[in-house]
Amino acid sequence: MATSLKNLNDYKKEGFGDISDKKFGIVVADWHSEITDVLCAGAIETLLQHGAKKENIFRNTVPGSFELTLGAQFLALQEEIDAVICIGVVIKGDTKHDDYINHAVANGLTNVSLKFNKPVSFGLVTTNNLEQALDRAGGKHGNKGIEAAAAVIQMLSF
């Protein structure tokens, strides 16, 4: 699995604190699961590399990216969860569904983060086609799941 996760070193690690006792919720959308699974693996690997314990990482699945917000809220509501990582892939189609979903998720996750005062990351890959999404899930543009995990780690030591 690790070999498929590229650009592992492309984010800044300065200021990352100890996360060995932190608990992480991950919400993964089932749409385009062949891609969201790779993004999620990148996020989990990053957490482990920075010292998180396997038993403190809780992965949950939602049907599609639109449901990421409620999934994030369910997790953020749990006192023991310190941060939430959200993973989805929305690919543009013939209609404007992508616009509605993407804006709803961006606004929704911002609201959850502010409401619960916890880091909630936006690991939503929004692309024009499948190839662009694959490029961002272990392809030439790295793995955006890694960045989504790195973002919450950094915010935990804000």
Q: Residue 125 phi/psi, 5° resolution?
A: -90, 120
Q: Which of residues 43-62 bind ligand RBF (CB under 6 A)?
A: none
| Active-site annotation holds for 141 | no
Q: What whole-number distance in Å separates Cα of residue 91 and Cα of residue 13?
A: 30
Nearer to ligand RBF, 29 or 40 (CB): 29
* 39 sits near ligand RBF (criterion: CB under 6 A): no
Classified as helix, coil or strand, 24 is: strand
Q: What whole-number distance in Å separates Cα of residue 14 and Cα of residue 18?
A: 12
Closest approach of ligand RBF to the CB of residue 83, in Å: 21
* 139 sits near ligand RBF (criterion: CB under 6 A): no
Give the 3-state secondary structure of 89-115.
EEECCCCCHHHHHHHHHHHHHHHHHHH
Q: Which of residues 16-35 bind ligand RBF (CB under 6 A)?
A: 29, 31-32
Q: Interface residues with ligand RBF (CB under 6 A)?
A: 29, 31-32, 63-67, 88-91, 93, 95, 97, 101
